[in-house]
Each structure stands twice: as structure tokens, then as C-alpha cells.
Structure 1
Amino acid sequence: MLAVAAGVLLGAVFGQPGNGRAASEAVPKNKTLPTISGAALVGQTLVATHGTWSGSPTSFHYAWSRCDTTGAACLAISGATGKIYTVTASDVGHTLRVTVTARNADGATTATSAATAVVPTSGCPSATGPIAVTALVPPERLQITHASIAPSLTRSTNTIRIRVVIQACDTRPVQGATVFVTPIPYNQFAAAQGTTGADGSVTLTEARRSGFPAARHQRLLAVFVRASKPGDPALGGVSARRVVAFRFGHH
């Protein structure tokens, strides 16, 4: 009886033969925390990654939480149990976190991401400086704040360069906006499209077409300008449209 009892005791301490390691060592353990990518703005999509784990997890479960401005006092968001979460109006004034549960045959362990930025009331991202157009959402809109032409227009002009500046959120330059420009009536100069840089500007070159000048006594060149966010409808989302006019020179 003593030998049997000792065998049971040793088995409990060192694990049963063939296990290789204790069950507590086989449960998943988090090595790097889950992360959240994307802009914390109403209507935008956030994507969670599960981080890295030891213990060879066989599955991951996601649970999103709405927290206070410091990332504390978090409450689970009903139904938000996937890798992807779309920010809603209920999240305004809060931060967001995601908790990942990693599971294998030996058990489960949880780990929680850092908090996002506070979801603002407008469609503007917090911080300062240039804005990536992908971070803008309605009700914010792009603003076509400046347009210039070179060289000075004459009836013999063959090529024009039109520089457009796009801003949003109180005059912050917008990077990555798609700008489309075409003179009207059409067929005076070729239409052109480009993407704004970090200073919010893009310069588009247009070659003369057979329809220029559009009238014998033409003194203005009217140009239609559209700024939009890639992936948005051309006339929806945060897009903006404007018609600008450039005077002819004296030549």
C-alpha cells in the first residue's frame, strides 16, 4: 500500500509518464499583447491582431470593450466578438480595447490590447499636422482651398499646370486625396487626376485639345475640381467639388 501511495504522490508532483510537461506549462501564455490597427473614428473599421503566444493555441476568441478616456472602466460591447469592429456613435468620448482568449487542449488564457485614442465627436483624427485622407470620415469634408494655373493663359496656350491644395479639419493639409480636374466646357484641355502629397497639394498637367478656346471672345477658363477619398463614391463620403475660373492674360 505504501509503494502505491508513493507512486500516486510522485505522479501528482511530476506529471504522468509520457506527458512531457506539466499541464500548467502547456496552457497558452501571452508573449506580446494583441494590437488594434485603424483610425478610432465613427464609421471607421478597426482590426485586431491576436499577438503572439506560446503553447500552440488552436483558437482565438475576440471581445471588444468600450472604456473611459484613460482606457479603464471597460465594459464589453454586445455582439462585438470578431477580429474586425466598426466604430459607432456610441463610442464617441471613449477608448476601445480588444481582449483575446487563446485556447488549446490544456486550457485558455486572455490578454488585452492597449487602448485606442479617444473617439472624437467629429470625423477628424486627433493630433496635429497632415491628415491621411483614409482617417477622415463624415461629417467632415475635404476642402478645396486653393487653385492656381501656370503659365498665364492666352489664346495660344498649349499646356497648363493646375495646382490644387486640399485641406480639412481647420486648415490641416490632407495627404492621399484623389484630385480630378477638367476645364468646362469639355475638350479644351485634357482632364487629369492625381494624389495630394504631405503638404496637401497636387499639380496636374493638361494638354490643349481642339476645343480651346471655347468661344471667340473667351476671357475665362472655368475648371471643375473634385477631391475625394479613394474607395468613397465620387460624389459621396468626404468628397468636395468646386468650379474655379482663371482669367486670360493680355497676350
Structure 2
Amino acid sequence: MSQVVIDLNADLGEGFGRWRLTDDEQLLSVVTSANVACGFHAGDAATMRRVCELAAERDVRIGAQVSYRDLAGFGRRAMDVPADELCAEVAYQIGALEVFARAAGTRVAYVKPHGALYNRVVRDEEQAGAVVDGVILAGGQLPLLGLPGSRLLDMAEKAGLPTVTEAFADRAYTDEGTLVPRARAGAVIADADEVVARSLALATTGSVASLTGRPVDVGARSLCLHGDTPGAVALAREVRARLEAGGVDVRPFS
């Protein structure tokens, strides 16, 4: 039987100026892929440069975490952006991060939407298409990281872009396999032992219990660990240790 392989990704570089939200240096010693904020929901030029340099030193893959232009709302507010404008803004964010990735001796390896945009492109074909068009406009054939069954991944595949399915150990799922909105009780799982157990289940069985207790098939190739939660570094270390102790090969998908 072949060994189970899983990628661990985290949202990094989510600071601005003197304000820092994530412990980038410590998390980059645990994860295998880094979703780097590109300045629209968080992050600035100096932060992007620093995170790219740290990621390159640790051989961690760099992903462009693209977002709606929403610094005040951390990219989590619903927005209506015309498709042509969103396409250009996605390409702009990828291009900005690519400059710093290349300067660090590496490249942007994939793209992942953030926050409200991530949830919108699960069902919204126009917005999903704009993200795909933005990736193509930025050049290359970058993989798109997203929720299984989403319109984003469907449209990316039709456009000839590689796709990577993703799961969340610290977020609750609906019975339909989508993420429970953060405003609902129980949407974010804070219990460390439960997050670790869900991580192992997601990696080894491809399934997780929904908020109502029903099994949801995910079958993800990458597991997201949020870096902006209390105790994120210790939790990430515990998740990786338990995965490896369970015989899971933790390495980048790209």
C-alpha cells in the first residue's frame, strides 16, 4: 500500500507596517507551503520580501494569497467587484509577490484566494472565472488551491490550470462540504486535541465530521493550518508530529 502524502499550508505575512499577526518564522519551520498575503487584505512590500526570503531558506513553497481589496476588513467582507477588475487585481497581486520570490531565489508556486473571495468562488461562476483569468494573465500555469467541488477548481481545470484540493482541520464543515460561515457558533474549532485528531483523519481517510456530525468526504491534498489563532505555532507542530507518527509523508504538493 502506498504511503499517504499530505501538504501543510498556512496563511503567512498577514501583517502591515509595524503590526504583525502571524509568527511567520516559527510557522515556516513547520509548514511545507506558505500562502503569502499580497497586500490587499494584509501584507506590505517589506513583509512579502521577508517571508519569501524565510520560505526560500527553508525550502517552503510560496503561494500568492490573493484577496479582495479590503485591508480594513482583513479580506473577510463580501464585495462585488467587476470581473475584469478582479482579474487585473489577481494578476497584480501575483506579480507583486513574484518579484520578491524571484529575488529570494525561488518562484511563486501556486495561488490561493483568501477570505470572502475564497468562499465566493465556491459557488460564483463569474468571480471564479475572474480569478482563473487573473492567474492566466499573470503568466504561467500556476496551480489553484481551493475547496473540493468548488466552481473555482472546475473552471481552472477547464482552462487547463492544475488544481489542488484543500481541507481545514480547524474549521467546521456543512453537510454539503462547504465551510461554516465564521459568524455561526462552532465555525472555528479551538480545541487543540480535536484539531489534531481531525488533521489525522483528513490525511488518512479523506473524511471529516460536519457540524451536525455527518461524515463529509474531502479527499484533500493539502491541509490548511490557520496562523492567526492563539497557540498556532504549538498546534502546527503537534499536527505535523502526529501526522508523521501516523505514517503520513508531509511534503509540498508542488
TM-score, length-scaled by structure 1? 0.23
Larger relative contact order (CA 8 Å, sep ≥ 6): 2
Higher strand proportion, which one?
1
Higher helix proportion, which one?
2
